[in-house]
Amino acid sequence: MDWLWPALAIVCIIEGLGPLLIPNRWRLYLLEISQQPTNHLRQIGGALVVIGTISLFFLIS
C-alpha cells in the first residue's frame, strides 16, 4: 500500500495540467463532455477503469 499515495499524487498532477496550462480549451472540453449522453460517459468511464486495472496489474507484476 506504499504506492497508493504517490499514485494519487501523480493523478492530481496530471489532472491539474489541463486547467493550469490551457484553461479556456479545458472549459470548452468540459462543456462538450457535459453534453454527452449518460450511457456514453459510463462506457468511457468503464473502459478507463478496465484499462487502468489491467495496466496496474501488469506494472505491479
- The residue-averaged pLDDT of 23-48 equals 96
- Report the half-sphere exposure of 20 (CA within 13 A, side-chain side): 6
In the prediction, which pLDDT does 44 show? Answer: 94
- Residue-wise pLDDT for 4-31, tens only, equals 888 899 999 999 999 999 999 999 999 9
Is the whole model's pTM more than 0.95, yes or no? no
Longest CA–CA separation in the chain, Å: 40
Q: How far apart are CA 47 and CA 15, in angstroms?
A: 18
DSSP count for the chain of H helices, then E strands: 3, 0
